[in-house]
A and B are shown apart, each in its own frame.
Chain A
Amino acid sequence: QQPVQSPQAVILREGEDAVINCSSSKALYSVHWYRQKHGEAPVFLMILLKGGEQKGHDKISASFNEKKQQSSLYLTASQLSYSGTYFCGTEIKTGRRALTFGSGTRLQVQP
């Protein structure tokens, strides 16, 4: 079952912040985040493996709330280069050895 991402789309001005949420109906083992720019392949951002884990990558960070079965991606002081579609991929506990991706959040950063 696909994780649910919200919002589906967001438009920002440079320098603004954004939060993208990813929630699952099943207990999660890990959450992965990818970004896909228009016309390109998805590119890995980060993996969160433990409940409560937080990671950062430049001004992009993420948290994983194992209890709530959800993860959030935080984009701080957004840059034009952050534009693209963000996907979360989840691996459920006692599940198969592969990810299930959400439907994506389209992020557009304007000057």
Chain B
Amino acid sequence: DVKVTQSSRYLVKRTGEKVFLECVQDMDHENMFWYRQDPGLGLRLIYFSYDVKMKEKGDIPEGYSVSREKKERFSLILESASTNQTSMYLCASSLFADSGEQYFGPGTRLTVT
């Protein structure tokens, strides 16, 4: 079974803090994705990576950066957290970038106060 794990289920941070969200997959997948999920807006792509050290912007990259130093790990970084970044963050991985099934992690609910 593919497993995608995320470092925290719940996180509370203060405005201005630097926040790291970690995602690890155990199936040697090439591709990894970060989404945020907000009510009524669905899943919006923040960043994705199709190889180690490679990254591409998604639809809403502003205020975020990512790091992929190892194939199994994809980190999302909020350089200076703001209240409008309060959301559910979902990580996913897939074997194929375009037509491959995506496996999602359980999500991190981030609250910025």
- Chain B residue with the shortest CB-CB distance to A98: B48
Is A102 at the interface (CB under 8 A from chain B)? yes
Binary contact track A5-33/B, C-beta < 8 Å → 1, others 0: 00000000000000000000000011010
- Whether B56 pairs with A96 at a CB distance below 8 angstroms is yes
Q: Which chain A residue has the least Cβ–Cβ distance from B38?
A: A103
B84 at the A interface (CB under 8 A): no
User: Do residues A47 and B99 form an inter-chain contact, with CB atoms below 8 A?
Assistant: yes
Give the shortest distance, in Å, between A10 (CB) and chain B (any CB).
16
Q: For chain B residues 61-113, which have a beta carbon within 8 Å of chain A?
A: 90, 97-99, 101-107
Can you list, as one digit per residue, whether each of A72-103 has a CB less than 8 Å from chain B (1) or not (0)? 00000000000000010101000011111111
Which chain B residues numbered 6 to 57 have a C-beta less than 8 Å away from chain A? 31, 33, 35, 40-45, 48, 50, 56
- Chain B interface size band reads 20 to 34
The answer to whether B97 touches A97 (Cβ under 8 A) is: yes
What residues of A have a CB within 8 angstroms of the CB of B104 in the complex?
41-43
Which of B56, B58, B99 contacts A91, CB < 8 Å? B99
Smallest CB separation, A29 vs chain B (Å): 7
Smallest Cβ distance from A100 to chain B, in angstroms?
A: 7
With a CB–CB cut-off of 8 A, which chain A residues contact B43?
42, 87, 89, 101
Smallest CB-CB A-B distances: 3 pairs: A97-B97, A41-B104, A103-B42
- Tell me the A residues contacting B by CB distance below 8 Å: 2, 29-30, 32, 34, 40-44, 47, 49, 87, 89, 91, 96-104
